[in-house]
Structures are given as C-alpha cells and as structure tokens.
Amino acid sequence: MSSQPANDYLQSYDAYIRDFKTAYQAMKEGDMSKYQSIIERAMELQTKGDKLTGELNPEEQQRFANYLNKRADELSQFARRQR
C-alpha cells in the first residue's frame, strides 16, 4: 500500500496473528498468561483499523479489507485445526 500507516498496521496485524497462534497453543496447554494480552491487542488493532480505513482512498480501502479478510480466514482455519 502507498500509505505508510496502513503498512505499519499490517505489520502489527501480522505480528498479532503470530502471537495469537503462540498464545492459543499455550492456552490449550493450560497457560492463560498470554491470553489477556492478545485480547487487548485485538481491541487496539480494531480501533486503529477503523480509524485507518477512514484515511484510505477507496482502492486502498478495498485492498486493506481484502487483506484483513484473508488473514482472518487463515486465523479461523488455524483455530479449527487446533480443536
């Protein structure tokens, strides 16, 4: 994307996905210590994403939404495989 804030957000989101997977594995093993942090980061990302969407042009908004949907699908598939 041409927007540096959008690129920064996507990097943060990718890091969140990696950390979520680690926290999920730990949670399955009984370690809930990382869970609260993941929930807080999810809420932060939601707020930042909502704000950022309003700053992007329509084409970037679509690309941004497509990327986030793709990553959300990957996360959903990960969670299903872990059951």
Q: Residue 39 and residue 35: Cα distance in Å, rounded? A: 6
Percentage of residues in the chain having pLDDT higher than 70: 99
- The b/e string for 35-71 (b: 16+ C-beta within 10 A; e otherwise) is eeebeebeeebeeebeebeeebeeebeeebeeebeee
CB atoms within 10 A of CB 78: 13
- For 43-77, write each residue's pLDDT tens digit: 999 999 999 988 999 999 999 999 999 999 999 99
**Tell me, what's the pLDDT at 1?**
67
Can you give the residue ranges of every domain in the chain? 4-81
**Tell me, what's the pLDDT at 53?**
84
The torsion angles phi and psi of 32, rounded to 5 degrees, stand at -95, 5
- pTM for the whole thing? 0.83
Task: Report residue 31 as tokens.
Answer: 């370690």
